[in-house]
Amino acid sequence: MSSPTTKATAITSMLTTVLRAPLDQEAPEAVRIEETDAALRVSSPVPSTLSEVVRLDLLGDLLGFLLGKGARFGLYVPHDGPSVIWTEIEKASPGGDAP
């Protein structure tokens, strides 16, 4: 089974490619990886320049990809500002083993 870091790298690559997010971490629209004691969280804004049809198609593809990675994921849609797609990969199960 892939390590949490390998899964996060694959998800980051997919988000960067599909959403055309910049690799420059200083850019506000870049894909981000945040680490906690329990998980790695990958998130990216969904560009507002995408048409609704393209956005739904891309998000469907992304969600299908994320389902295969054994991670929690979702889409945060605020009233103002860009939507953000996110996923969390657990670093270890309660027994101490990686999932």
User: Looking at per-residue confidence, does 64 or 90 come out higher?
Assistant: 90
Could you tell me which residue, 85 or 2, shows the higher pLDDT?
85
Q: At what angle do helices 52-67 and 4-19 cross, to 10 degrees?
A: 160
pTM over 0.75: yes
Cα 84 to Cα 78: distance, rounded to the nearest angstrom: 9
pLDDT at 39: 92
Comparing C-alpha atoms, which of 42, 38, 41, 43 is closest to residue 91? 38
Supply the pLDDT for residue 42: 92
Q: What is the pLDDT of residues 50-80, one digit of tens each?
A: 777 877 787 777 778 777 776 788 888 888 8
The DSSP line for 3-18 is -HHHHHHHHHHHHHHH
